[in-house]
Each structure stands twice: as structure tokens, then as C-alpha cells.
Amino acid sequence: MSPETDTYQRLTNSQPGKLLAGRLGLPKSTPLRRYEPGQELLTGPALIGAAPGGRLDGVVALLLRECGAEVATSADEDTRYGALIFDASGVEDSTQLRAVYDFLHPVIRHVHANGRVLVLGTPPEAAATPRAATAQRALEGFVRSIGKEIGGGATAQLLYVAPGAETAAESSLRFLLSSRSAYVDGQVVRVGHGPATAPVDWAQPLAGQVALVTGAARGIGASIAEVLARDGAEVVCLDVGAMGEELSRTANRIGGSALQLDITTPDAPATLATHLRERHGGAGIVVHNAGITRDKTLGRMTGDAWDAVLGVNLSAQERLTDALLADGGLVADGRIVSVSSMNGIAGQRGQTNYATSKAGIIGMVQALAPVLAERGGTINAVAPGFIETQMTASMPIGTREAGRRMNSLAQGGRPVDVAETVAWLGSPASGGVNGNVVRVCGQSLLGA
Ligand code: NAD
């Protein structure tokens, strides 16, 4: 969907519109910078600071220099920063949280449009003492508040890195600092131990991978297929027979292959597992994206509408996953990424069936994370918020405008924003990211 469709954003970014919006106190909606191959990582220099005992500031500084970014370690009031990065991993007591304030307070108003604030911590569950765990958990409230204050299309995230997993954090640092994470805001991501293989070329992080994407004919699934192919993967695009034409178009556009299959049929798991094993030697990345809605409030919802949504969105995924894990459809250290939804977290009127299925996806991801970890693999979920698709374009204007503005970035996301997040989670370099649920929602107020 073209950005021109967001008339509010266009008007409030024109000179007279800006003035009027400011006077009326309307939400500011800054056009987001999105990834293009060859783009600079940051929009300006990075300022890095650390509390005593930090394990991560050195890793980040090295990475940024490798990426050609300018790195400063002391603040300069005339500079506008592309990123403010604070390593709080060494904070062991609530009294030491003052260090985060001291670092960010003088510079928080000196962040470029579309800049990044990144706080690094130690996962509370891995902290050495109850006091350290308390202080580390406190960082969540800080970062989520920065996300709501910062404006200008800038985002704030908290990255918890387990002790000893410092090098496994690279793919997540690159994602969260770059414009690939344009619509990811106010999130908490955990990096743990897991075999993370850095790619030969970070511009092609999925080179040599085979990826399966369900529901790839159109919408978010087509965008996921495109981004995975752009990043170097060979993509198998799956959708129902009725979408055959659109499916072939997506597959042809990206040089992938098309597989017509209804994932709810009894033989779908075996057919898919055999296809991936025999034609491709197993997939390295499986993206469960196919999904449907059949909205009605519970009292008016038919049993068929309940069954259809639970069937496609949850039970079929479980059956496919079991089959792929059992007989080589997914390679041993493969990645699974499931598309959940913000409504699975927050609940939604008229969507008891849909929200049940999408909350179930989160349950599945969390329950299977240890199973995948044993094989050297990972499973994670993305939970999109308001994404500009044909579905949202046909909403009544009031509902659509409310959905667009009720988040820290005051706009809807695009399918590509979900796709970039899936590509990061699906990467061989993201082996330390397992069992996470990452919202792609511009820090929506719903379910926060
Ligand atoms: P869409 O309807 O445009 O695309 C879904 C695709 O899944 C279609 O091509 C459809 O044919 C396919 N599909 C449906 N049933 C299938 C089956 N039984 N077997 C194989 N393929 C099947 O939807 P979308 O908006 O692109 O959504 C994609 C995913 O993102 C869904 O899981 C959806 O729940 C989720 N999501 C979307 C939004 C949003 O704002 N659009 C928000 C949150 C979550």
C-alpha cells in the first residue's frame, strides 16, 4: 500500500498542516525510513554509554565501526544522534538505575528523525541476585516510556542478552538499530545461548537457505516471501488452489516455486514434509503465515466460523509443525516463525475465535522453544498490529483511523515491516533468539 494512502500523515507533514496539528495537539506521524539494500545502518552518529560492569558496549562499538557508523562515547550538545545506546547489563541494584537517566537525560532530545534508542540488559532470570533481577526488570518500564515520548519516527527497545551470549546478539543489534525494524517499537527482546552462524555477507543473511512461506499468494505472506528472497533465500510459496494465479505471480516475481496446498486437509502435513524433504533436502526456515478471520460476537458466531478459524490459524500449524519436526521437512537446526496478532494478546470484540487461535500460537511457540533448542533450532512469533492491507483499507474510516493512530508512531505498519521481522528471526545468525514474541505494532496502546 502506498504511503500516499495515509492522507492524515501527508497533510500533517505539510507546512500549514504541521502548524495546525501542533496548535490542536494532534498526534505527529513521521514517515518511517525503511530498509533498502546498501543503506547506511544509522541516520547519524551513535552515542554509546555503559553502567559499570557492562558486558556489551564493546561488542556494540565494534559492530557499529564495522558497519561504517560514527561512534562517540561522550555527548556533544550540538550533535544530533542516529542512535543512543546504553549498556545497562552491569546494573545490579535499583540505586544504579540512575546511570540510565544520567546518560539519556541530556541527549534524548537530540535524536534524529527515525533514530534509535537501545538499552541493553541482562535477562532478569539470569541475574545473579534478586536485587539485580529487580533492577534489570525495571528497565522495561523505562524503555517502554521512552518509546512513547520520543516521537519523530524514532523507536526505543530493550535487548536482554544472557551472560556468555554476547556474540549471538549481533543479528538482533543489526535489526533493532537499522530501518528493518521501522515499525517495531517499545519491544523487549531476549537473546540466549544458541548456535548463531554469522553470514558471509550481512547483505544476504539468508543465502543458501530454503524457506517455506504459507499463505504467500498475497498480503503479508507475499511480502515475507519477497523479503526472504531479497535476503538470499530460495522460497517455496504455499497457498490454496483457488489462489493459484496470484501464488504463481508471487513465486515468479522472486524466482521461487509455488506449492498449491490447503493446510487444513488431513494429508497436508505429510505432503508438505515429503515435498520439502525430497525436493529441497528440508527447509531451513518455515513461516506459518496463512490465516483467516470470520468475525462475529460470540453469541452470533456459528460453530463453522469457530472451527474454520481455529482450524487454519492454529490446529493446521500444529499438525504441520509436528510433521516437519518428525521427518526432515525442517532441517535439524531450522527456524520456525509463526504469525500471531496483537489481537491474540489484547483480545478483540467480535474475534473470540481469531484471538483464541492467535493466543494459541504464542502458547505453541513458548511450549516448543525448548524442543527446537535441543535440535539447535528456534521458534518465535511475530504479532502484527495495524498493518496497511486490503483488509484494513476496507474498514470503516473511524475504525481505520483509530487503528492507525493509537500507537507511538501514529501510523499503520506495512506488510514489509512484518516481513523484515520474520527475516531477522529466520536467520541462521539469530540462533540465540528463541521463544520470543515480537510485536510489529508501532507500540500499539492495545495489549501493551
Ligand atoms: P490475507 O488474507 O491477505 O492472506 C492470507 C493468505 O493465507 C491468503 O493468500 C489465503 O489464501 C491463505 N490461506 C488461507 N487459508 C489457507 C489454507 N487453508 N491453506 C493455505 N493457505 C491459506 O491476510 P494478511 O492480512 O496478509 O494476513 C497474513 C497473516 O497475518 C495472517 O495470519 C493474519 O492473521 C496475520 N495478521 C494480519 C494483520 C493485518 O493487519 N493484516 C494483523 C495481525 C495479524
- For residue 73, the surrounding DSSP H or E stretch is none
15-41: average pLDDT: 82
pTM of model > 0.85: yes
99-113: average pLDDT: 97
Residue-wise pLDDT tens digits, 218-268 = 999 999 999 999 999 999 999 999 999 999 999 999 999 999 999 999 999
Closest-lying ligand 1 atom to the alpha carbon of residue 247: 9
Report residue 96 CA to chain centroid gap.
30
40-46: average pLDDT: 97
Q: Is 143 in the pocket of ligand 1 (CB under 6 A)?
A: no
Q: Is 391 in the pocket of ligand 1 (CB under 6 A)?
A: yes
pLDDT at 215: 98
401-413: average pLDDT: 93
pLDDT surpasses 60 at 3 = no
Confidence tier at 5 by pLDDT (50, 70, 90): low
Q: How many CB atoms lie within 10 A of CB 292?
A: 15
pLDDT surpasses 90 at 8 = no
Closest-lying ligand 1 atom to the alpha carbon of residue 340: 44
pLDDT surpasses 90 at 392 = no
pLDDT surpasses 70 at 395 = yes
Residue-wise pLDDT tens digits, 326-343 = 989 999 999 999 999 999
Residue nearest to atom 2 of ligand 1 (CA): 292
pLDDT at 448: 67
Confidence tier at 446 by pLDDT (50, 70, 90): confident
pLDDT at 4: 43
More confident residue, 51 or 6: 51
Residue to mutate (ligand 1; options 292, 312, 407; most atoms within 8 A of CB): 292
pLDDT at 2: 47
Residue-wise pLDDT tens digits, 282-302 = 999 999 999 999 999 999 999
pLDDT at 11: 75
pLDDT at 132: 98
Average pLDDT of the chain to the nearest whole number: 95
- Distance CA(407)–CA(147), nearest Å, equals 10
- For residue 184, the surrounding DSSP H or E stretch is none
Q: Is 387 in the pocket of ligand 1 (CB under 6 A)?
A: yes
367-396: average pLDDT: 93
pLDDT at 26: 67
Check if 354 is active-site: yes
From edge to edge, which strands make up the β-sheet containing 210-214? 257-260, 234-239, 210-214, 283-288, 330-339, 378-384, 437-440
Confidence tier at 191 by pLDDT (50, 70, 90): very high
**Among 100, 95, 94, 145, CA closest to 119:** 100
Report residue 385 CA to chain centroid gap.
11
pLDDT at 272: 98
pLDDT surpasses 90 at 21 = no
pLDDT at 190: 98
Closest-lying ligand 1 atom to the alpha carbon of residue 217: 9
pLDDT at 9: 81
Residue to mutate (ligand 1; options 220, 382, 441; most atoms within 8 A of CB): 220
Q: Is 239 in the pocket of ligand 1 (CB under 6 A)?
A: yes
The residues near 293 (Cβ < 8 Å, ≥ 6 apart) are 309, 351, 354, 391
Identify the three-state secondary structure at position 252: helix
Residue nearest to atom 23 of ligand 1 (CA): 219
Of 12-21, 50-59, 416-425, give the lowest mean pLDDT range: 12-21
pLDDT at 403: 86
Select which of 35, 81, 160, 354 is catalytic. 354
